Amino acid sequence: MEKLFALLDGNYEEMVAIRRHLHEYPEISFEEVETPAYVAAFHRALGHEVREQVGGRGVVAILRGAKPGKTVALRADFDALAIQEENEVPYKSKVAGKMHACGHDGHTATLLGLAKVLNAMKDELAGTVVFIHQHAEEIAPGGAKPMIEDGCLDGVDVIFGTHLWAPTPLGEILVRDGAIMAAADKVDIVLQGKGGHGAEPHHSIDAVVLASQFVMNVQQLVSRRIDPLKSAVLTIGHFEAINPFNVIAERVVLTGTVRTFEEQVRIQMERELEAVLKATCLAFGATYEYQYTRGYPPVYNHKRETDFVAELAVDVPGVEKVITCPPFMIGEDFAYYLEKVPGTFFFTGAKKPEWETAYPHHHARFDFDERAMLIAAKTLGKATLEYLKENN
């Protein structure tokens, strides 16, 4: 393990350089071209077996150790977001309207740096390591499911993954067995009223008032219809009526998200959301269109693998605390990997010590402490080596 840590320390500057290069040239979900090509070329230069266009735009690289053994998969995503970066840093995005605002550039740099180090240790490696570089995590249906269908998990015994997490201080690792992240679903609604003159509301069915009433009504779903010992979130994030100021809108478009952990609650939210919508429209004499689209399922960590990472992370250089965290209502398509093979997904703290607060993920001024990549690489690397050693 000391050799692993020493080699990663020596490779840290290259890891930072890779992250900053990727940060300057972001590519958003389902539009990744140069990023997967860069990743594939890096692995080929190491002599790894490489498959491109896995499940669309994904890359899978395989490192076979000198001795036979189990197969460990490590996953990193590489897509960016449609956000105009507001940071003034030397590695600021050079692509207008796009930036790495969630740390996926760091995930990719972490995995490439670790791949190089494990490759240097392949003569001592008893087993196989599969590096899964995933496209399109940010937008459902995501890249994980098609990559799995294209065989990225074939022969894999266990999978590990991490997310660099800016709200959590550098040096902390967050773990949780069972549900750690929520199902993330989308709701699309069109409310159809009857337009008219702004001075004559009695001749119209005001879709703005109707939509406003609906948004207020559905707030009672979580507070009054869902078991208070269970969790759910409903957010209407988009409300659109394009009308002149003196015209009563006949049509409003709403979109939102529903987050749950349990299947029963997920079904209840889908059903009762439409029931409130139907009742509200009936009261106004209006009509509606309703579409509930299931996104990623909840991320359920396997207990054995979660305990395994929690125990080994304590002795990783740079790790000061290993914390059992509460569940997060954010979503992640890492869930699909965990439905197929045992594994765990954890968070690596990436908040700089000098920051009082960190800008949240998906913010135009998001950034993270790059030293978190080294901690993540050491934790994933140690998990890989110890798993192969213990399971041979």
Instruction: Calculate the CA dihedral of residues 378, 380, 382, 385 and round it to 10 degrees.
Output: -140
Which residue in the block uniquely carries the two structure tokens 């393990």? 1
* CA–CA gap between residue 13 and residue 115 (Å, rounded): 15
Catalytic site positions: 79, 137
In this structure, the strands spanning 343-351 and 251-260 are unpaired
